[in-house]
């Protein structure tokens, strides 16, 4: 079942650093107790020479810990200031939606978490140092704590290199397009096989309306809805699609076969922006946005548009033989029970229009893009069943008409209407 909690946490930038700092605090307490136990054991054994050696080692390490404490926060500020500039440049070059890649990046969160945890640990370790140096009187020698701090510094340096590499990749269009494509395939893999038409579940007995703030329907808690429907013996259907904008008072759930279970409205999540979690068309929307910006006169980068068409064709090819229309979720661990929740998803025609319509309009004057689009449509025509050929043929004919209107020379028209998987290789 699709539960949105994990996805909501991945979209947050605070959870991982806070969890890491709490974990470091607990580990520091454990190390402090072990350090105290080591000193007690050595003093009970009258091994004062060993205690003195530990005090000397820790005194040398204190210089490093102090330096780390004073420099780490400055280092964090500089690194992430530069990174935010890079993200801003990427969002301006491609689309603002690519910022979510940075926010959801595991490397980004791991780097920030380790940096902040190292800074916090260095402060905590400094509180454990004592001014007393007499082996008979000393009560705490932060040996393990100092070693842990040095290890965290080493990990921070390693993650810094990885983080810089990841941030530089974010500025490369090929990497961004690839990430969007595979995020789209992840959505596809999590959704059940659909039927072309949802079954007849009887008349609607009650509607559940949205009472919260206006916004984009981000996702729904499928597991909770299925459990509620099973307990009450009803079928629940999501009325708007994921990604639709809803306002207060809009019916969002329809209940078939009985009264609506209490608390259904809390299973619907509305936010200010769309998410990949359950949105099958969001990936195509982002790829189209990047292609449109690349085709704008201010940028004029048809090669980027061709790269987007490559991935649009790849994603549509994976959907060419798959039933679309409605996702039906059944009760039971293996989904062998009756249908309990139905969610409408875009149809084949919707997805083809999303992938090709806008790019087609702006590609009439770019033979590189028109040639690549024709090749992509021809590839999809060879894969799609007969009943799904109509939207592809429609876009092919409209593209040919647009090129004929915008290109007066016959030779140029013939060149622009020749399918080529590389556009103009």
CA distances from 155 to 62, 112, 150, 169, 206 (A): 19, 12, 9, 21, 56
Region at 257 (left for phi over 0; alpha for psi -120 to 50; beta for the rest): left
95 — phi, psi (to 5°)?
A: -165, 145
pLDDT band at 1 (very low <50, low <70, confident <90, very high): very low
What's the pLDDT at 334? Answer: 65
What's the pLDDT at 329? Answer: 86
What's the pLDDT at 3? Answer: 59
CA–CA dist 400, 364 (Å, integer): 8
What's the pLDDT at 259? Answer: 86
Inform me whether the pLDDT recorded for 309 exceeds 60: yes
What's the pLDDT at 282? Answer: 92
Q: What is the pTM of this model?
A: 0.82
CA–CA dist 11, 166 (Å, integer): 18
| Of residues 7, 2, 5, the one with CA closest to residue 276 | 7
Mean pLDDT of 90-108: 80
Mean pLDDT of 379-401: 94
Q: Which residues contact 361 (CB under 8 A, 6 or more apart)?
A: 402
Of residues 99 and 221, the one with the higher pLDDT is: 221
pLDDT band at 97 (very low <50, low <70, confident <90, very high): confident
| Of residues 393, 425, 305, 402, the one with CA closest to residue 417 | 402
CA–CA dist 365, 363 (Å, integer): 5
In this structure, of 97-101, 297-301, 374-378, the range with the lowest mean pLDDT score is 97-101
Q: What is the average pLDDT value for the chain, to the nearest integer?
A: 87
Tokens representing 181?
A: 């494509």
Mean pLDDT of 152-168: 89
Tokens representing 162?
A: 């990885």
CA–CA dist 302, 296 (Å, integer): 9
CA distances from 356 to 63, 294, 323, 359 (A): 62, 15, 20, 5
CA distances from 299 to 85, 371, 422 (A): 20, 20, 20
What's the pLDDT at 73? Answer: 82
Q: Which residues contact 230 (CB under 8 A, 6 or more apart)?
A: 331, 337, 340
What is the percent of the chain with per-residue pLDDT over 70, rounded to a whole number?
96
Consecutive H or E run containing 21 = helix 15-44
CA distances from 291 to 92, 149, 343, 362, 363 (A): 13, 47, 29, 10, 10
What's the pLDDT at 197? Answer: 53
Mean pLDDT of 29-56: 85
Residues 234-270 pLDDT 10s: 999 999 999 999 999 999 999 998 888 888 888 898 9
Looking up tokens 């330096």, which residue turns up?
Answer: 67
Tokens representing 35?
A: 């350090």
């Amino acid at each position: 079942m699709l539960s949105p909690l994990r996805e909501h946490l991945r979209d947050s930038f605070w959870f991982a650093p806070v969890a890491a700092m709490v974990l470091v605090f607990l580990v520091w307490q454990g190390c402090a107790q072990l350090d105290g136990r080591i000193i007690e054991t050595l003093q009970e054994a009258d091994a004062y020479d060993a205690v003195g050696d530990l005090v000397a080692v820790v005194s040398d390490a204190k210089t490093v810990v102090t330096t780390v404490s004073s420099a780490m926060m400055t280092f964090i500020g500089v690194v992430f200031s530069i990174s935010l500039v890079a993200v801003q440049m990427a969002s301006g070059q491609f689309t603002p939606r690519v910022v979510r890649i940075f926010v959801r990046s595991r490397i980004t969160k791991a780097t920030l978490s380790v940096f902040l945890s190292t800074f916090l640990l260095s402060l905590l370790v400094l509180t454990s140092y004592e001014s007393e140096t007499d082996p008979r009187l000393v009560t705490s020698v932060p040996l393990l704590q100092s070693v842990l701090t040095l290890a965290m510094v080493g990990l921070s340096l390693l993650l810094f290199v990885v983080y810089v590499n990841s941030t530089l990749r974010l500025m490369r269009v090929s990497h961004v397009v690839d990430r969007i494509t595979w995020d789209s395939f992840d959505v596809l893999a999590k959704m059940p096989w659909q039927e072309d038409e949802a079954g007849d579940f009887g008349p609607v007995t009650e509607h559940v309306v949205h009472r919260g703030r206006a916004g984009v329907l981000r996702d729904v808690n499928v597991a909770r809805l299925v459990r509620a429907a099973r307990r009450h013996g009803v079928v629940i259907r999501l009325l708007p699609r994921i990604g639709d904008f809803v306002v207060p008072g809009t019916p969002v759930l329809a209940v078939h076969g009985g009264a609506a279970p209490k608390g259904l409205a809390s299973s619907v999540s509305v936010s200010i922006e769309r998410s990949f979690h359950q949105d099958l068309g969001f990936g195509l929307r982002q790829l189209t946005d990047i292609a449109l910006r690349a085709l704008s006169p201010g940028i004029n980068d048809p090669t980027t548009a061709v790269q987007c068409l490559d991935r649009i064709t790849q994603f549509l090819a994976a959907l060419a033989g798959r039933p679309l229309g409605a996702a039906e979720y059944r009760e039971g661990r293996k989904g062998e029970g009756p249908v309990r929740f139905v969610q409408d998803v875009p149809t084949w025609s919707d997805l083809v229009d999303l992938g090709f319509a806008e790019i087609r309009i702006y590609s009439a004057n770019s033979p590189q893009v028109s040639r690549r689009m024709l090749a992509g449509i021809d590839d999809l025509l060879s894969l799609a069943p007969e009943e799904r050929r109509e939207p592809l043929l429609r876009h092919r004919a409209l593209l040919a008409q647009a090129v004929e209107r915008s290109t007066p020379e016959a030779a140029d028209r013939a060149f622009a209407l020749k399918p080529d998987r590389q556009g103009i290789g």
